[in-house]
Structure 1
Amino acid sequence: MRRAQTALEYLFMLAAALILVAIALRTVLDTTKQLQQTVSSYAKAVRKNVLEDL
């Protein structure tokens, strides 16, 4: 009985760790997407200002 309980506890810990990894991965991917959009809009604004100054 103790072996089954230990295995079940291990599986719960593994599930919790995977959930934390998934949350971290999602946060990183969302941040990367937002950063890409911000840099892209900034580059467009700079390009527009440079072209207006020519």
Structure 2
Amino acid sequence: MRRNAQGALEYLFMLAAVLVLVLMAARVVLNGVRNMNEAINNYVEQVRQEILEDL
């Protein structure tokens, strides 16, 4: 009985570690997407201003 409980705890700890890694990876990806979106918005705004100045 004790060996089964130890195995279950080890499994839960591994699952928790995997979830933490997945959350960290998702956070990095979301921050990258947010930064890329901001850069694209800034570029679009700059191009829009240049187009309006040329009219």
Q: TM-score, normalised by structure 1?
A: 0.95
State the percentage of identical aligned residues: 50
Structure 1: stretches of 5+ with no match in the other structure: none
Structure 2: stretches of 5+ with no match in the other structure: none
- Cα RMSD after superposing both structures: 0.6
1:15 matched residue in structure 2 = 16
- Moved >3 Å (runs of 4+): none
Name the CA distance, whole Å, in 2 between partners of 1:32 and 1:2: 45
Between the two proteins, the alignment pairs up a number of residues equal to: 54
